[in-house]
Amino acid sequence: MRKIQIVTLFPEMFKGVLESSMLFKAAKNEIVSYEIINLRKFGKGLRKRVDDTPYGGGDGMLLMVEPLVKAIELAKANDPSAVVILPTPRGEDFKQAAANALAQADHGLILLSPRYEGYDERVTNWVDYQYCIGPYVLTGGELPAMVMIDAIVRLLPGVLGGANSASDESFQGGDEAEYPQYTRPDEFRGLPVPPVLLSGNHRQIAEWRAKHKR
């Protein structure tokens, strides 16, 4: 079973995603286990403070290095071989190849989800991978962490069911059909399904799909 630990100030953000659909089923079927680590627990002082102002000035607050490192140390104590992933707009682009590699690996994952205007850069000494999920800036690392978890977990053998396995095409390419698809009814408000798809002619269907690949 793959262990995925998530360090966050907002555990509730993960609920809807980890407790629905395929990600939930993967956990129920013991293909994966999720553990949320509340960063607040490692905050400093009575108020459990996790952020402070940036040295050198500038707007906003940064996550302090100590709470992050303590949370990582707890996650590593739970799972010593796990790798640590930091979502950041300054990271390497998170591509399907990275999802494939992380799905095929035999170690656990620890995902950080930084908040506020950023984090103390020294935390990167405890980080194995830094990934950016796209050319836009989000308010925090929670959504990127969820995107990466979704992309990885769907590739684990047994999660998508049917023919999914380490050797089949969806594992390697990891994507949905690249051609347009249709289901019943064969006409909706004057919009027909391309007749070739109803023809039962497998060669012509394959040709049509090849021609319409995105």
| Residue with Cβ nearer ligand ADE (7 or 159) | 7
Measured from the Cβ of residue 58, the count of other Cβ atoms closer than 10 Å reads: 10
* # residues near ligand ADE by CB under 6 A: 11
Q: Rounded to whole angstroms, how far apart are CA atoms 181 and 183?
A: 7
108 binds ligand ADE per the rule CB under 6 A: no
> Residue 48: what residue type?
K
144 binds ligand ADE (CB under 6 A): yes
Residue written as token pair 């690249």: 178
Of residues 1, 97, 105, 138, which one binds ligand ADE by CB under 6 A? 138
**Cα 75 from chain centroid?**
18
**3-state SS class at 44:** strand
Q: Which of 137, 161, 184, 191 binds ligand ADE (CB under 6 A)?
A: 137
Q: Cβ 145 to ligand ADE, closest distance in Å?
A: 8
Q: Does 88 bind ligand ADE (CB under 6 A)?
A: yes
Q: Is 133 in the site for ligand ADE (CB under 6 A)?
A: yes
DSSP codes joined into one string, 112-173: E---TT-B-GGGGGG-SEEEE-SSS--SSSHHHHHHHHHHHHTTSTTSS-TT-STTSHHHHT
E strand intervals along the chain: 2-8, 32-38, 51-52, 62-63, 83-93, 109-112, 129-132, 187-188, 191-192
**Binding-site string for ligand ADE from residue 23 to residue 62, where x marks contact by CB under 6 A and - marks none:** ----------------------------------------
Q: Among 61, 74, 132, 197, indicate the residue that binds ligand ADE (CB under 6 A).
A: 132
User: How far apart are CB 140 and ligand ADE at their closest, in Å?
Assistant: 6
Q: Binding residues for ligand ADE, per CB under 6 A?
A: 87-89, 132-134, 136-138, 141, 144
